[in-house]
Amino acid sequence: MMATPLVVSEVAKSFVMHLRGGLTLPVVEDVSFALTAGRCAVLGGPSGAGKSSILKMLYGNYGVDSGQIIVQHRGALVDLARAAPRVVLSVRRETIGYVSQFLRTVPRVTALDVVAEPLTAAGVDRDEARERAAALLARLNLPKTLWSLPPATFSGGEQQRINIARGFITRHPILLLDEPTASLDAMNRQVVIDLIAEKKQAGVALLGIFHDQDVREAVADTIVDVTRFAPKRVAA
C-alpha cells in the first residue's frame, strides 16, 4: 500500500452566487497537503474557514477551480479534480469512503440495507453484507428494532450512527469523516474512537473534521490548519 494514498496540490475554490448578482465568494486557495496510510489527519480552523468544502472536494462532491487531487486508485494515479463522473464513482466505490454529516434517506430502504449498500455495490454477497452491517450497528448500540426500518424518522444521533456504520463498513484505503461524533453520547463517541483506531491499524488513511476536542485529541496524528489556505483577496 502506498504511503501517501492521497495528495492535494494547490487546490483553489470559490463560489459564484449568480442569484446574488454574480457575487464571488472565495473559499480556499493554494491548498496543499498529503494523507499518510495508517494515520489520521484533522482539518483544524474556525467555522466557515472551508473545512467541510475541502472534504467535499476530496470526495468529488464539490467542484475544484484549479489544482489537483491525486489519489491512488486500482494501481494508477487519478486526478479527482478532473476525472469523469464514472471514474469518481469508481473511486468512491473502492477507494475513498465518506461519513457525512447528514443522512439523505431513500424511501423504503431499511437501516440495515443502507449500511450494507457500499458492500453490495462493490459486489459482496447480500447476506454477508447484511451480517457485517449488523455487527457494526450492534457495536454502535443501535437498537435492533430499528434495523429493519427506513431511517427517515430516526433521531439525529441514530441517523449519524447509520452514516458512521455505512462509512466504516468497507475496506477503503482512504476515509473522510465530517463531524462523525456531533450528535453522539460519550459511550458511542468512544466506539467511534475505537473504530478509527482499528482503521489506522489496518493502514487506512483518515481525514476528519471533529468539533469535539476530546475526540480530536484521541485520534489526531496531524493537524492541517485550514486558515493557511484562506483566500488572500476579500469577497468581491
Partner 1 sequence: MSSPADTRPDDQPLLRVSSVSKSYGARTGCTDVSFELWPGEVLAVVGESGSGKTTLLNCISSRLLPTSGSVSYRMRDGSWRELYRMSEAERRFLMRTDWGFVHQNPADGLRMTVSAGANVGERLMAIGDRHYGNIRSTAIDWLGRVEIGSDRIDDEPRAFSGGMRQRLQIARNLVTSPRLVFMDEPTGGLDVSVQARLLDLLRGLVADLGLAAIVVTHDLAVARLLSHRMMVMKDGRVIETGLTDRVLDDPREAYTQLLVSSILQV
For the bound state, the minimum distance from the C-beta of residue 202 to partner 1, rounded and expressed in Å, comes to: 24
Q: Which residues pair with 42 in a beta bridge?
A: 208, 223
Q: How far is the CB of 159 from partner 1 (least distance, A)?
A: 16
- Interaction of residue 77 with partner 1, rule CB under 8 A: no
Integer CA distances (angstroms), 122 to 89, 94, 130, 226, in order: 11, 7, 13, 33
Q: How far is the CB of 34 from partner 1 (least distance, A)?
A: 23
Phi, psi for residue 231 in degrees, rounded to 5: -65, 140
Of 70, 109, 134, 182, the one binding partner 1 (CB under 8 A) is 109
Question: Which set of grid coordinates corresponds to residue 5?
Answer: 494514498
The region of 85-93, 130-138, 140-148, 216-224 touching partner 1 under the rule CB under 8 A is: 85-93
In whole angstroms, give the CA distance from residue 136 to residue 191.
10
Q: Pick between residue 125 and residue 221 the one whose CB is nearest to partner 1.
A: 125
Stretch that binds partner 1, among 31-39, 122-130, 174-182, 221-229 (CB under 8 A): 122-130
Alpha-carbon distance 101 to 182, whole Å? 8
* Residue closer to partner 1, measured from CB, 27 or 196: 27
The H or E element spanning position 54 is helix 51-59
- Separation CA 113–CA 130 (nearest Å): 7
Count the residues of the shown chain that bind partner 1, applying the rule CB under 8 A: 30
> Which residue from 46, 47, 75, 108 is in contact with partner 1, where contact means CB under 8 A?
108
75 contributes a contact to partner 1 by CB under 8 A: no
